[in-house]
Amino acid sequence: MEIERQNHRVVVTGIGTIASQGTGIDSFWEALLAGKSGIDTVQSFDITDYPSKVGSEVRDFEAGDFMDPKEARRNDRYTHFAVAASKLALQDGGLDCSTPDPERFGVLVGSGIGGMNTIQEQSFRLFEKGPRKVSPFMIPSLIANIASGVVAIETGARGPNYGIVSACATGTHTIGESFRLLRDGEADVMLAGGSEAAITELGYAGFCSMKAMSTQYNDAPQTASRPFDAGRDGFVMGEGAGVLLLETLEHAQARGARIYCEISGYAASCDAFHITSPDPEGKALSTAIRKVIKEAGLEVEDVDYINAHGTSTPYNDKFETNAIKIALGEHAHKIMVSSTKSMTGHLLGAAGGIESAVCAKTIHEGKVAPTINYNDPDPDCDLDYVPNTMREAEVKVAICNNSGFGGQNATILFKGFEA
């Protein structure tokens, strides 16, 4: 089939989220606006010997509610989340899987780590019981592209489908690349986002050894993630998934879909600086921000809100603030910036998926979720971080930033839809 190359407009018509605050976008969004943290003491394993004891766990989740229980047992928890969020996005968007041409219905749902639970469990089996006890489903369960494959099997989507792995920028890259596929006419419908389930003994041991996670607030878990606050001491790991249903405007209008907002720009860049530390000057991230504004045909003064990467680590928050100021100049002090990681924790490869969902809801609802636990301003972080309380405001243009180990940055620009 010959592909028609043209610039199609791309819109967000459905949102699916799995997070510690609840299943589905409605409960998740209400919790964010209320400033409700999903962070608590980790309960899924014995945390006694770990320096960091807090996490943002998804509880009361049953994979069998979203897929055949037998198939669920053959897949990792991160895939369970991906399937659930994808089906919730379709449900929210009112799209029956039989509606789109399956050849033009694609899936890009990535993961920064993939099947961490599977890696850990099967390693125990190998060393405790020998190689014959390793599951034949181990490899397909752990690889980071399998979520997109399983979502396609569950939905019948036979269009573009692959895995993107860029650490904590994964979810944003998947949405951005899906935007390009739709814009260029290679698909009509895409499910795009990220999924992660790395709250395990092995995952915690690795991040604790890096001294990347918060350790000072174990006795007050809901205060542990405090982006841009002077008392921040590390990120809090979260788990879950965020998936957007994206369509070309023509496809969405033909079926009378509700439209949350439009995607008008996407950029990817690399710091080329250090494998884990962001560039102090923020050159590559600031370039990405400027690129999405230009691609959208806008000026920096048009930006109203940024959902920041805002990890609550000493370096990231300071350097990201600097990058925003470089990109927007004086206008940086006139916009709203918030980090919803203060409530969700850091969902790693799923961060961009769930934070893009926040941007879409922000534009559609005219409400900005706060950065909670912002009590002691850091002189190096001097923007309007929407501290502690939700704010009602008209947001016509929102930007989502995410950065990952390896120096990889991804930025998406969302704007209010106008026919």
> Looking at the annotation, which residues are catalytic?
168, 309, 346
Task: Count Cα neighbours of 134 within 13 Å in the Cβ-side half-sphere.
Answer: 15
CA 154 vs CA 80, 112, 161: distances in Å = 11, 22, 13
Alpha carbons 48 and 36: distance in angstroms, whole number = 26
Q: Which residues, other chains included, contact 336 with Cβ-Cβ below 8 Å and sequence gap of 6+?
A: 304, 305, 306, 368, 384, 386, 391, 393, 395
Pairing type for strands 189-196 and 240-248 reads antiparallel
Task: Match 């002090």 to its residue by tokens.
Answer: 333
Do 266 and 409 contact (CB within 8 A), yes or no? no
